[in-house]
Amino acid sequence: MSGKHCQIKWTRVVYLILLFGIWGGLSGTLLYEKYLRSDSDVRYVSLETGIRDIPTEAEWMAIYHQERHLGYAVFNVMNRDSLGYVLKSTTQMNIALAGVETNIHMESTVHVDPLFKLDSFFFRLISDQYSTKIKGLKDGTNMNLTFYQGNDSTLQTMQVPEELYTYTGIQPMVASQGIKPGETIRMPAFDPASLEMSDVRVHHAGKERREINGQEYELNRLELEFQGIPSILWLDDNGLTYREETVMGLVMERSTPAEAMQFTKSDEIDLLDLYAVRPQPPLERVAQLTALTLELEGVEPALFQMLDSPRQQVVQTDPLILRLRKMDLPRLEDDLSPYLAATEIIQCEHPGIQEAASRIVANIGPLAQKTRALTFWVFEHLAKRPVVSLSSASEILEAGIGDCTEHTTLFTALARAAGIPTRVHVGLVHVQGRFLYHAWPEVFVNDHWVAVDPTLGQYPADPTHITLLVGDFANLTQLVPILGNLRIKVLEQQYGDRHP
């Protein structure tokens, strides 16, 4: 397999980094009324007491990583008087993934009532290869969602609180309600792009002077945290954003439209290299490994304790030591039906997926052989290219291109269509001297769970696969704080009964 084919990444985590890291300052959180001060109807030109007129001019922000300009974001509020507000944000980025230039465009439009309660939203993600649209309409305690991916659309309803606010609009929230220095507010929030609800912590850390584009300002420092992802936001007393900093060195600064749209060449910023983890000492003869013992720093041991198994065993927690083995796992679950179910992206009931699965496994008897056939069919069918997408299985099948996310999504849909229980693992894998963030499937055959890797053409998957999360690409935001902080020390390598 060529080196280029080994260049993989964890698409959804990168996407969520962009979403929460870059949009954090432009979007923020709107609060439940019970969390806000009772005197919030008083309006003065001060962030502390609240402002009568919410700023409506478009705010342009240049996006940087380690002082390299990689894109822009623009946010504005439209006042609909008694109907409430429309909150619009757009992000445009030009980055490199494994040496491949990638253009990313994201849009969000959210309609809220005069108290900032969510009415509806529209989200769109467009990259060079794929596009995704999500529409949501709130009806009481139901959020009716429509997913558009390629030529397909799917419907889904999720239960939400009656009093629902949105993860968009820190500026209008702060400007209208006000927040005092030293005050900390916790509130539930909903994000239209990730469809996640969680508490957000907002703390006013006081005022400080910051230099922005050569000019000094006295600004309000707000410290935010959402699902463990911290960010710092600087606003003036009119509620306008001047700077935001978040995890992994992502920074936004207030700018003119012309300056914001002047990008750095994408080949100067490769996200794959930025978040790769190089083990010390290097691994040897990875293809022959049967067991591996690692010491990990920068991640909470509790995460691995929840995933402890004979294949990925927690040897000790301080320091955190993992023992990884190339082996199958016995069945523990009583109900395998969730691993045969269709989702909006794992479309195992789609006619195209059903037809492809039947054709691939035709005249193959045992489930183990069917699984092997599906693994290598997906490996050969998809061109290996890093992409940024939220693409569905049917769209991936037609496009024939993608990285680990696309390989895993397509394989999982095909395997479930063939009657093979399959679940998604998210974590890291060793490729070309480094651990990369990765996704791969695990199948249930012969009364055991077997890890396979259609991206790398491995059946079964090698023991360098480190699981951080199990599920159909859900709750990935809880892993974002790990990125850029993880360190790996190799304690032992085993090849059969022999050590190197």
pLDDT at 187: 75
Cβ neighbours for 406, distance < 8 A, ≥ 6 positions apart = 11, 382, 387, 389, 391, 396
pLDDT at 189: 76
* pTM, entire model: 0.78
- In this structure, the strands spanning 401-402 and 383-384 are parallel
Please give the backbone phi and psi of residue 418, each rounded to the nearest 5 degrees, phi first.
-85, 5
**Angle, alpha carbons 467-428-424 (nearest 5°):** 50
- Taking Cα atoms as reference points, which of 116, 225, 250 lies closest to residue 173? 116
pLDDT at 485: 84
Q: Quickly list H helices, 402-472.
A: 404-417
pLDDT at 120: 93
pLDDT at 421: 95
Burial class of residue 329, CB neighbours in 10 A (0-12, 13-18, 19+): middle
User: Which residue in the block uniquely carries the two structure tokens 């911290």?
Assistant: 230
- Taking Cα atoms as reference points, which of 491, 20, 68, 62 lies closest to residue 273? 68
For the chain, the C-alpha Rg in angstroms (whole number) is: 24
pLDDT at 269: 60
Tokens of 251: 């920074």
| CB of 180 closer than 8 Å to CB of 48 | yes
Report the chain (500 residues): mean pLDDT per 10 consecutive residues: 38 43 34 34 51 74 85 88 90 74 84 86 81 89 86 83 75 74 82 75 91 90 83 86 83 91 65 82 88 93 89 94 85 83 91 96 91 96 82 89 91 96 93 90 92 94 93 76 87 71
- Taking Cα atoms as reference points, which of 80, 77, 83, 84 lies closest to residue 116? 84
Cβ neighbours for 134, distance < 8 A, ≥ 6 positions apart = 121, 122, 123, 124, 145, 146, 147, 148, 192, 193, 195
Please give the backbone phi and psi of residue 457, each rounded to the nearest 5 degrees, phi first.
70, 45
- Taking Cα atoms as reference points, which of 311, 342, 343 lies closest to residue 327? 311
pLDDT at 348: 95
- In this structure, the strands spanning 229-235 and 241-246 are antiparallel
Cβ neighbours for 215, distance < 8 A, ≥ 6 positions apart = none
- Note the CATH architecture for domain 276-494: Roll (3.10)
Tokens of 315: 């040897």
Instruction: Mark residue 90 as left, alpha or beta (left: phi above 0; alpha: psi -120 to 50; beta: remaining).
Output: beta
Q: Where do the domains of the chain lie?
A: 12-268, 276-494
| CB of 241 closer than 8 Å to CB of 254 | yes
pLDDT at 20: 38
Query: What is the number of other CB atoms lying within 10 angstroms of the CB of residue 333?
Result: 12
- Taking Cα atoms as reference points, which of 152, 170, 158, 283 lies closest to residue 223? 170
